[in-house]
Amino acid sequence: MSEREQVVSLTGLEYRYPGGFVLRAERFELLAGEIRALTGPNGSGKTTLMNVIGLLAFPERGEYRYRGRLLPRSGPGLTRARRSMTMVEQNPYFFRGTVGDNIAAGLKFRRLPRREIGAMVARAAAELGIARFLDRDPAGLSAGERQRVALARGLVLEPEVLLLDEPTANVDRQAEELIERAVKRFHRESRSVVLWATHNLRQAFRVGDGVMSLVDGRIVPGTIENFYPGRVEVRDGEKLFRFGPGLTAVVSTGTGEGPGRLLVPPEGIVLSRAPLDSSLRNTFPGRVAGIGERGERVAVEIDIGVPVIAVVTVVSYRKLGLHLGSPVSVSFKAAAAAVY
């Protein structure tokens, strides 16, 4: 992974909102050819992060490098960099004119020859099944159709970085599948970088090679399913996090004593039928409370006093022979648990 080119690299990012909320990223990279999902609750900063990466918003602090180069904040250099990428929004805005005019907009900004634009628009529209709408006003289309127009408008530009800000949040299942297929096909053929923000964890694992989340303006790896309020205490030089009655985890990161939140990535949890005799510092007994699909893996919900989600491979799941109600031991490293 580390040998792949860093297409987007943010260091020491700090973006402040008027209300006091701050989006922070010590280090954030998008590598060549990757398709990454970004999850997080409303207001966690997903759209702002997209805007910053798409050069539509500028943070107060931090360094932004695109393919290793620092970018100017105005002028033709900024426009050139913006033309390497595009963003598709949850509620896309459409310019006056037809669907065809809208898909052609970005190509016209790039001053491509008219004939070439016509052919590219027709091809993009055909790929998303909207060729018959080319002469229609986008306002008259359904939410799913409009979103396909917005995606066609982005894909036709063949961007090096495609930013998708919850593009399927308001569409039906059929349109969602069509959009996912189109993006995956585009990614396969172009090897462009795709960053896909979504609320839907199943979708995140379906579309992304990797998943990351935003929690209170901070980027964390994985999803934010196991997120518990509690307190940090220091005892005998060891940092402990109390997050429920009788539930104390040894943690190695985070601030000093006081209230905080514990985040344990589901991928960092080890399941076993009996408590493990290992170097894992945290082990809790529990019972299986739910089993579901998670892309090509299995998400197991375990009740240890609070619900915990663990994601395991299908082979591991079968080996463990888990069923609803099975007793199971949940373990994770102190280093896998982050405190915020």
Q: Which is nearer to another protein, 64 or 241 (CB)?
A: 64
User: What whole-number distance in Å separates Cα of residue 250 and Cα of residue 284?
Assistant: 12
- Which residue from 61, 63, 72, 109 is in contact with another protein, where contact means CB under 8 A? 109
Per DSSP, the residues of 87-107 read EE-SS----SS-HHHHHHHHH
- List binders of another protein among 77-96 (CB under 8 A): 79, 82-83, 86-87, 89, 92-93, 95-96
Check binding of 208 to another protein (CB under 8 A).
no
CB of 90 to another protein, least distance (A): 12
Give me the phi and psi of 245, to 5 degrees please. -65, 120
Joined tokens for residue 9? 């690299």
CB of 195 to another protein, least distance (A): 13
CB of 87 to another protein, least distance (A): 4
CB of 108 to another protein, least distance (A): 8
Joined tokens for residue 319? 């080996």
The residue range among 3-11, 52-60, 235-243, 256-264 that interacts with another protein, by the rule CB under 8 A, is: 52-60
User: What whole-number distance in Å separates Cα of residue 179 and Cα of residue 185?
Assistant: 10
Check binding of 105 to another protein (CB under 8 A).
yes
User: What whole-number distance in Å separates Cα of residue 220 and Cα of residue 213?
Assistant: 5
Check binding of 206 to another protein (CB under 8 A).
no
Q: Which is nearer to another protein, 152 or 308 (CB)?
A: 152
CA nearest neighbour of 294 among 332, 264, 266, 321: 266
CA nearest neighbour of 159 among 55, 59, 38: 55
CB of 327 to another protein, least distance (A): 52
CB of 146 to another protein, least distance (A): 13
- List binders of another protein among 111-170 (CB under 8 A): 153-154, 157
Size of the site for another protein (CB under 8 A): 23
- Which residue from 106, 208, 222, 266 is in contact with another protein, where contact means CB under 8 A? 106
Residue 67, Cβ neighbours under 10 Å: how many?
Answer: 14
Q: Which is nearer to another protein, 130 or 150 (CB)?
A: 150
- Which residue from 56, 131, 143, 306 is in contact with another protein, where contact means CB under 8 A? 56
Give the β-pairing of 161-165 and 193-197: parallel
Angstrom CA distances, 156 to 28, 55, 104, 107, stand at: 27, 19, 8, 8
CA nearest neighbour of 44 among 58, 30, 23, 28: 23
Residues that bind another protein (CB under 8 A): 51, 54-56, 74, 76, 79, 82-83, 86-87, 89, 92-93, 95-96, 105-106, 109-110, 153-154, 157
